[in-house]
Amino acid sequence: MEFIHRSRRLRANQMIRDMVRETRISKNGLIYPMFVMEGTGIKEEILSMPGQYRYSIDKWMEALEEVTKSGVRQVMLFGIPDHKDACGSGAWQEDGIIQKALQKAKQQFPNLYYITDVCMCEYTSHGHCGILDGSYVDNDKTLEVLAKTAVSHVQAGADMVAPSDMMDGRVLAIRQALDKNHYVTTPIMSYAVKYSSSFYGPFRDAADSAPAFGDRKTYQMDFHNRKEALKEALTDVEEGADIIMVKPGLPYLDILREVTDHVNVPTAVYSVSGEYSMIKAAAMAGYVDEAALVCESAVSMFRAGASILLTYYAKELAVYIEEGRIG
């Protein structure tokens, strides 16, 4: 039998497979999430995220040295304060944990790019992502403190802010506040499509941010919904978001693809703590090849349309790219 079309011609050896590869990734598209806390001399492993740590600022400087050596150039910063209150005042104070960490990092590692998570859940005594009115998160009152927090981060040295709270109108509120304070060139990466997900469990251990009561379903998205993702993404673009994020990653590749096809700004995806911990646990049990699974998972998210990947495996992926395992 004679064939005209033989797909295997383009799979014959590694050179031709590399040449015709459709999805290519680089270290430039990786962002490494990191956790900084008060104190000194602290490098505390997160039990539900083996290999990930909470750092005091001095130990974070050592960790940033490792990040630099890996070739990763962008970090996402989460702060863990000593003191929490009902309005999350530690989020915007000049001597807050994020503000102090940024000032130090900018001095010692000015060539890294610093993105800060803008939310209230790490700072509020109740663990919710905004200001409470009774037991309900008051959307509009929260906008003011989010905007104030974003400005304080940029004043301390943040290169980009990333609101993750899922309050309506927060991108516009932050954009207006940044512009008013002459930070017109500071980009916003919006957690625009953030589902209410069970995959966040280990992160809440890391950031000590679990809600003291109830859940976050009145502001985070219902994972049954697809069209709502497009509404959220397009609304945030209209309000001034420069990058749109989808979160979580692997369980939402269909959403990532659809959002990427409909927005005219870059799309990021956050491979969240639960995704990391599942792979890590399976690898530690000897069930999977960790490196192979990390590479395949990362490629799947770029293939689905992401141009930016936030992942706790960023340093390892940078090495795998350098080694030619993926790229």
Distance CA(164)–CA(46), nearest Å, equals 21
Do residues 242 and 189 touch, judged by C-beta distance below 8 A? yes
DSSP lists the bridge partners of residue 78 as 35
In whole angstroms, give the CA distance from residue 323 to residue 57. Answer: 31
Q: State how far the Cα of 160 lies from the Cα of 102, in Å rounded to an integer.
A: 12
CA distances from 237 to 143, 228, 249 (A): 17, 14, 20
Is 194 among the catalytic positions? yes
The CA distance from 327 to 312, in Å, is: 18
The active-site residue out of 27, 84, 148, 194 is 194
136-138/74-80 β-pairing: unpaired
CB contact at 8 A, 26 and 5: no
Three-state SS sequence of 188-203: EEEEEEEECCHHHHHH
Of the residues 59, 247, 280, 315, which is catalytic? 247
Q: Which residues are catalytic?
A: 194, 247
